């Protein structure tokens, strides 16, 4: 019998798995023949937004969700009065009413190919071709692929990008007019959202076909960038290379002016969901330190990550090794005594409002790294 080989390294982002059917329109094949889908994410206005700093009604209910114990406030004090039972003595479980937010209901769907567009269609023509452009102005449109092997995970959108995008949108003043560098940008969602506030965003990743898809997403979302005049430049930045490529014959390479611009003017570095392989995590932190050492000024870095739990046969338990390695790198950085630069590391509460629909699970975290340079004379004594 022929040997069957199962590929176990294919991953599908929850973002695409949980998107309603209508968002799974296959638009074309990319440069390497992978089906490309287009997802639309509505940017919520004030009235539609979910405020994560306010507890949900029902979160403070007296009865627990399992219904196994009931508490009553008696004379201002909470007393445990034991489980609620029906007349036969069976547990009487009262379910908490479902939250009235139909759009955030968990829907697991499979991608459906709705149409095949011409691969030659330019992104701006696709905007015109959009059947439901009624809310087009507030809609972020991202081309992506579906389940990919690990080396292509950047061609999907990950929840960390949404958390970072929410944080960016909740801080319009902080990022106004800034120059920003994104590392491991994937399909460019966070960079595009950043450019609605910042002046210039260098959106970086590796791989020509990935960067081409990212570039198309920037063009597809021009309508979001035009009002503020923000600009996204898609460039190659490989954490496993020492230098930035400035060879003019290579697509997505840097000009000398751009290299000078990032070292002179960068205010913020951002990264979303880039910790899933320990070697790459090490390379990421080496890149960060190299960048910090070239900057003549302090810099703030925002990193979102998802603490993913896996059951491992090795431990016969649930572990989160990639996350633990990230925390270890963070800890090393905060204890690094460089003599020139000092680092501070803090986790930020994820209580800022939600501008995009996704599940903001508690495993999604946002970290802030601040570097400070001592005054010139202190550093040179
Ligand atoms: C899980 S994806 C996250 C993509 C995007 N930030 C998001 O949240 O949707 C990890 C990203 O890291 C990028 N990456 C992996 N190795 C890299 C390297 N050596 N240099 C630069 N980027 C790399 C991948 O190409 C991918 O885009």
How far does the centroid of ligand 1 lie from the alpha carbon of residue 361, in Å? 21
Is 17 domain-assigned?
no
Give the pLDDT mean for 72-94. 55
pLDDT tens-place string over residues 358-369: 999 999 999 999
Per-residue pLDDT, 373: 75
For residue 278, pLDDT beyond 90: yes
CA of 203 to the centre of ligand 1 (A): 11
For 289-307, what is each residue's pLDDT tens digit?
A: 999 989 988 899 999 999 9
Neighbours of 176 (CB within 10 A): 12
Q: For residue 277, what are the contacts with CB-CB under 8 A and spacing of at least 6? A: 150, 322
pLDDT at 261: 97
Q: How many CB atoms lie within 10 A of CB 381?
A: 6
Helix (H, G, I), strand (E, B) or coil at 133: helix
**Distance separating alpha carbons of residues 85 and 68, to the nearest angstrom:** 9
Q: Higher model confidence: residue 52 or residue 242?
A: 242
222 in a domain, yes or no? yes
CA of 208 to the centre of ligand 1 (A): 13
Q: Is 206 in the pocket of ligand 1 (CB under 6 A)?
A: yes
Within 10 angstroms of residue 216's Cβ, the number of other Cβ atoms is 24
Q: How far is the CA of 89 from the centre of ligand 1 (A)?
A: 56
198 found inside a domain? yes
Give the position, in ligand 1's atom list, of the atom nearest the Cα of 238. Answer: 20
Q: How far apart are CA 127 and CA 26, in angstroms?
A: 15
| CA separation for the pair 333, 370 (Å, rounded) | 11
**Centre of ligand 1 from the C-alpha of residue 295, in Å:** 23
Q: Are 217 and 233 in contact (CB under 8 A)?
A: no
What's the confidence (pLDDT) of residue 68? 36
Please report, for residues 23, 25, 179, the alpha-carbon distance to residue 115 in angstroms, rounded to integers and kept in the order given: 12, 6, 38
> 128 CA distance to ligand 1 centroid (A)?
31
Whether 160 lines ligand 1, by a CB cut-off of 6 Å, is yes
Q: pLDDT tens digits, residue range 339-349?
A: 678 889 999 99
Question: Is the confidence at residue 23, as pLDDT, over 50?
Answer: yes
> Can you spell out the DSSP letters for 7-41?
---EE--HHHHTS-GGG-EEEEE-TTS-EEEEEEE
Residue 253, pLDDT above cutoff 80: yes
- 194 in ligand 1 pocket by Cβ < 6 Å? no
How many domains does the structure of the chain reveal?
A: 1
Residue 50 lies in a domain: no
281 CA → ligand 1 middle, Å: 10
pLDDT (average), residues 5-18:
75
Residue 168: both structure tokens together: 């960016």
* Per-residue pLDDT at 281 exceeds 80: yes
Give the range of the structural domain holding residue 290, as residue numbers without chain letter: 151-379
Residue 280 Cβ < 6 Å to ligand 1: yes
Name the residue at shortest CA distance from atom 2 of ligand 1.
Answer: 154
Q: Whose CA is nearest to atom 13 of ligand 1?
A: 184
How many other CB atoms sit within 10 Å of the CB of residue 211? 21
CA 208 vs CA 35, 269, 280: distances in Å: 16, 22, 19
For 134-186, the pLDDT digits (tens) are 456 889 999 999 888 889 999 999 999 999 999 999 999 999 999 999 999 99
SS (H, E, C) 244-294: CCCCCCCCCCCCHHHHHHHHHHCCEEEEECCCCCHHHHHHHHHHHHHHHHH
Alpha helices (H) along the chain: 14-17, 123-129, 159-169, 172-175, 189-195, 208-220, 222-225, 256-265, 278-294, 321-335, 376-379
Residue range 120-139, pLDDT digits in tens: 445 545 554 454 444 568 89
Which atom of ligand 1 is the closest one to the Cα of 160? 8
Q: At 80, is the secondary structure helix, strand, or coil?
A: strand
Question: Does residue 53 fall inside a structural domain?
Answer: no
Q: What is the mean pLDDT of residues 313-319?
A: 77
The answer to the question of residue 5 being in a domain is no
Residue 345 within a domain = yes
188 lines ligand 1 (CB under 6 A): no
- The pTM is what? 0.80
Which pLDDT does position 196 carry in this prediction? 96
7 vs 251, residue with greater confidence: 251
User: Would you say residue 8 has pLDDT above 70?
Assistant: no
Assign residue 290 the CATH number of its domain.
3.40.50.150
pLDDT (mean) for 38-50: 81
Q: Could you tell me which residue, 309 or 326, shows the higher pLDDT?
A: 326
User: What is the CA(30)–ligand 1 centre distance, in A?
Assistant: 18
pLDDT tens readout for residues 184-237? 999 999 999 999 999 999 999 999 999 999 999 999 999 999 999 999 999 999
| Atom in ligand 1 nearest the alpha carbon of residue 164 | 8
238 Cβ closer than 6 Å to some ligand 1 atom? yes
* Any domain includes 169: yes
Q: Ligand 1: which atom is nearest the Cα of residue 271?
A: 6
> Percentage of residues in the chain with pLDDT exceeding 90?
52
pLDDT band at 24 (very low <50, low <70, confident <90, very high): low
**Ligand 1 mutation pick, 15, 16, 274, max ligand atoms within 8 A of CB:** 274
The residue whose CA is least distant from atom 12 of ligand 1 is 184
pLDDT tens, position by position, 103-120? 445 555 444 444 444 444
pLDDT reported for residue 19: 72
Closest atom of ligand 1 to CA, residue 152: 25
* Of 326 and 15, the one with more pLDDT: 326
Q: What is the pLDDT of residue 182?
A: 98
- Local confidence band at 66 (pLDDT 50, 70, 90 cut-offs): very low
Q: What is the mean pLDDT of residues 238-266?
A: 96
């Amino acid at each position: 019998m022929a040997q069957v080989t199962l590929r176990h390294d294919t991953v599908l982002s929850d973002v695409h798995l949980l998107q309603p059917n209508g968002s799974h329109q296959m638009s074309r094949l990319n440069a390497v023949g992978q089906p490309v889908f287009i997802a639309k994410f509505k940017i919520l206005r004030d009235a539609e937004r979910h405020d994560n700093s306010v507890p949900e009604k029902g979160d403070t209910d007296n009865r627990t969700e399992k219904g196994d114990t009931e508490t009553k406030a008696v004379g201002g004090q909470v007393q445990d009065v034991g489980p609620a039972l029906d007349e036969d003595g069976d547990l009487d479980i009262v379910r908490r009413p479902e939250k009235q937010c139909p759009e955030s209901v968990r829907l697991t769907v499979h991608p459906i190919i709705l149409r095949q567009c011409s691969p030659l269609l330019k992104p701006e023509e696709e905007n015109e071709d959009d059947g439901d452009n009624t809310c087009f102005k507030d809609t972020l449109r991202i081309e992506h692929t579906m389940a990919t092997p690990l080396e292509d995970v950047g061609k999907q959108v990950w929840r960390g990008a949404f958390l970072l995008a929410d944080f960016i949108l909740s801080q319009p003043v902080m990022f106004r007019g800034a120059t920003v560098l994104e590392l491991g940008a994937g399909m460019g969602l966070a960079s595009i959202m950043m450019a609605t506030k910042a002046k210039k965003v260098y959106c970086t990743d590796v791989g020509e076909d990935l960067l081409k898809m990212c570039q198309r997403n920037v063009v597809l979302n021009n309508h979001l960038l035009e009002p503020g005049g923000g600009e996204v430049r898609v460039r190659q930045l490989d954490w496993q290379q020492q230098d930035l490529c400035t060879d003019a014959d290579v697509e997505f390479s840097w000009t000398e002016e751009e290299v000078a611009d990032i070292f002179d003017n960068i205010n913020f570095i951002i990264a979303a969901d880039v910790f899933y392989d320990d070697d790459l995590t090490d390379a990421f932190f080496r890149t960060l330190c190299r960048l910090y050492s070239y900057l003549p000024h302090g810099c703030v870095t925002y990193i979102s990550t998802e603490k993913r739990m896996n059951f491992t046969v090795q431990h016969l338990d649930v572990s989160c090794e990639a996350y633990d390695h990230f925390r270890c790198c963070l800890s090393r950085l905060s204890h690094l005594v460089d003599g020139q630069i000092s680092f501070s590391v803090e986790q930020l509460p994820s209580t800022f409002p939600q501008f995009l629909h996704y599940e903001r699970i508690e495993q999604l975290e946002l970290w802030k790294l601040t570097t400070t340079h001592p005054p010139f004379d202190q550093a040179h004594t």
